[in-house]
């Protein structure tokens, strides 16, 4: 059982916003703010969308944003587009180990 819990699925219509939560124990985050988020289209390599809770790598649209409050991290996607439909995983670096959430399937209606 993953130490980071994500909803199995979320959905939204084009143009809307959705938020994916990632709730963990304090040990899962290890007292660090090293939460990252990955977009995964089946058959492709996962893609880094957010790192260090809220930083965006170059090339990732600013429609993607991240935050963290207490033991819950969140990924918000605004202005949903069809190509955003994918699986999303949160990830926590907690010093001597790293853990992924169970993943959330985003459906764009």
Partner 1 sequence: QVQLQESGPGLVKPSQTLSLTCTVSGGSISSSNYYWSWIRQPAGKGLEWIGRIYTSGGSNYNPSLKSRVTISVDTSNNQFSLKLSSVTAADTAIYYCARGFVGATHGFDYWGQGTLVTVSS
Residues interacting with partner 1, by CB under 8 A? Answer: 2, 32, 34, 36, 38, 40, 44-48, 51-52, 55, 57, 89, 91, 93, 96-103
Residue 60: CB minimum distance to partner 1, A: 11
Specify the DSSP class assigned to residue 83: G
Residue 16: CB minimum distance to partner 1, A: 25
C-alpha 107: how far from its chain's center? 14
CA distances from 8 to 20, 57, 60, 96, 103 (A): 10, 25, 24, 27, 7
Q: Which is nearer to partner 1, 12 or 103 (CB)?
A: 103
């Amino acid at each position: 059982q993953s130490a980071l819990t994500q909803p199995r699925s979320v959905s939204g219509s084009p143009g809307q916003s959705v938020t994916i939560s990632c709730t963990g124990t304090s040990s899962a985050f290890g007292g660090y703010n090293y939460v990252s988020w990955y977009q995964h289209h089946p058959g492709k390599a996962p893609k880094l969308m957010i790192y260090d809770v809220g930083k965006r790598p170059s090339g990732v649209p600013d429609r993607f944003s991240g935050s963290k409050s207490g033991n819950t991290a969140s990924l918000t996607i605004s202005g949903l587009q069809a190509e955003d439909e994918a699986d999303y995983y949160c990830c926590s670096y907690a010093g001597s180990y790293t853990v992924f959430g169970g993943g959330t399937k985003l459906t764009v209606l």
